[in-house]
Amino acid sequence: MTGGAASKATNGWRVAVLGGGAWGTALALAMLRAGHSVRLFARDQETVEAIGHGENQRYLPGIALDPGIDATSDIKMALADADCVLAVVPAQSLRAMLTAAKTHMPKGVPLVLCAKGIERETGALLSAIVEEILPKNPVAALSGPSFATDVARGLPTAVVVAARDAGLAADLAARFSAENLRCYSSDDLIGVEIGGALKNVFAIAAGAITGAGLGASAQAAMVTRGFVELRRVGAAFGAKPETLMGLSGLGDLLLTCSSAQSRNFAYGLALGQGKPLAGLPLAEGVPTAAIAARIVTERWIDAPIITAVAAILDGTITIRQAVSALMTRPLKTETDL
């Protein structure tokens, strides 16, 4: 399974998808299109029944689901005889999910992270959590500029699949690819994780700037300088610069910072407009901002946008105060990274 690059398997895998939200449901559809059989685990029995009836009304309304998705609220059943497992739960829920799955997880099968974030309590990247709880299962990550609704509808989308073992990454990318879903491979797991986690923080900033009516120029400046911060943090973690220039870095940053389809952008938009935040869909960038701000402070990484987003979210400063502080920072050359 971890050999060299392979063409898409003629005999499909048994793929377990852990998570019945919009992204989990969309990836279940994508795996069916790639020729695999799919079992999807969701905690909520109502979601399980809805998927069985052909539509996940709560998370992916209006999109017809293939009856081939076998949904269940029994995690043991979902994982039975799986050849590959996709973990599609929020980053802050991953540890609990893996702990529940541990005794049922088939040994040696790859676990592919499909959430993006940094664990708030420990500052751990998600791959480190997998390696701690499931040391006998190789870990990979799927990331890139992709909205669940686009993938579910079969619209053209490109993502990257990363693992430390380049052969495993190439094999997974080949097996997951299908018509209108192109998967590239990478051996830079850390770089892909950093890009996926931090773009959510910058998407909140982009939404807040838009919501506060600060203009397209301010938003463009924030996204550009946010990418500089992404490169700084990535370098500190040993990420490859070319990874951050790719789909899981710059590509995902551009998508999530430009559309209210992004939950993080939508959260920032409501924040900038002064609207109530209670009841909004989960925005992974909120807990990630707090821990990312702590990390950049402890590592002496110059990342003023990350720290400003964290301060805005905890109520320490307002959006306009944050922008004013950023605009009055000492001048330096643009290429001073």
Which residues belong to the active site? 199
Q: Which residue has the tokens 């998370």?
A: 59
Dihedral of CA 285/290/296/302: which sign?
A: positive
**Contact present, 189 and 131 (Cβ < 8 Å):** no
Q: In angstroms, rounded to a whole number, what is the distance separating the alpha carbons of residues 80 and 85? A: 10
Whole-angstrom Cα distance, residue 215 to residue 251? Answer: 22
In terms of Cβ atoms closer than 10 Å to its own Cβ (0-12, 13-18, 19+), residue 245 is middle
Q: 288, 117 in Cβ contact below 8 A? A: yes
Rounded Cα distance between 269 and 199, Å, is 15
Q: Residue 76 has which token pair? A: 């043991």
